[in-house]
């Protein structure tokens, strides 16, 4: 396992649409392991492969740290995840993103979703998600489609964030 570099706004790779994974290979398993190590180190509760410059439809997630005591990890892998149903009821959560560090904003999304995905054994699952799980899976699937949580904000707020991160990237020479 290895900690990978997380790409940060304004990196244009964050706007790429990730490619579906045809089958689970040793390389995909290693990528998932690296993503968990990177996500836990950051620390975060979700990571899309594109955030470490791998444009593949792969997500790692562990929301247990937010919902339970420390030390009760529940790592989840989602391959080719898709939202197949969403409630009309909305909920608002304060979201952040490892690719937009130290910036948090309230985002409104469907309160409940049904997600279909493949696991590391190649089995297809369908699950209902609500609460933090629903918010996190929608946030990460957005990454796979080249969308960021700041895209849900007003134009004024979004432009302010983009300007801030573009300026920081220039100052750091990236």
Q: How far apart are CA 22 and CA 7, in angstroms?
A: 25
pLDDT at 67: 47
- C-alpha pair distances (Å), 19 with each of 22, 144, 146: 9, 8, 11
Active site positions, annotated: 140
Q: Cα–Cα–Cα angle for 154, 160, 165, nearest 5°? A: 125
Residues 102-148: pLDDT tens digits? Answer: 999 999 999 999 999 999 999 999 999 999 999 999 999 999 999 99
What lies within 8 Å, CB to CB, of 134 at 6+ separation is 91, 109, 110, 111, 112, 113
Q: Which pTM value belongs to this model?
A: 0.93
Residues 174, 169: Cα–Cα separation, whole Å: 5
Q: Pairing between strand 46-48 and 90-97?
A: unpaired
> Which residue has 């432009």 as its token pair?
159
Mean pLDDT value across residues 2-11: 96
Taking residues 10-39, report their average pLDDT: 97
| Residue-level pLDDT at 68 | 45
């Amino acid at each position: 396992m290895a900690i990978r570099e997380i790409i940060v706004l304004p990196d244009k790779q964050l706007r790429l649409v990730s490619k579906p994974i045809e089958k689970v290979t040793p390389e995909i398993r290693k990528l998932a392991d690296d993503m968990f190590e990177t996500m836990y180190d950051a620390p975060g509760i979700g990571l899309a492969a594109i955030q470490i410059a791998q444009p593949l439809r792969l997500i790692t997630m562990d929301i247990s740290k937010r919902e339970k005591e420390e030390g009760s990890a529940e790592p989840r892998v989602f391959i080719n995840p898709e939202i197949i149903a969403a409630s009309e009821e909305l909920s608002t959560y304060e979201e952040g993103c490892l690719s937009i560090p130290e910036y948090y904003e309230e985002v409104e999304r469907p309160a409940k979703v049904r997600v279909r995905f493949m696991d590391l054994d190649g089995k297809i699952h369908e699950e209902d998600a609500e609460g933090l799980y629903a918010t996190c899976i929608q946030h990460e699937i957005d990454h796979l489609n080249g969308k960021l949580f700041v895209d849900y904000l007003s134009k004024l707020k979004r432009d302010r964030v983009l300007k801030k991160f573009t300026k920081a990237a220039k100052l750091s020479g990236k």
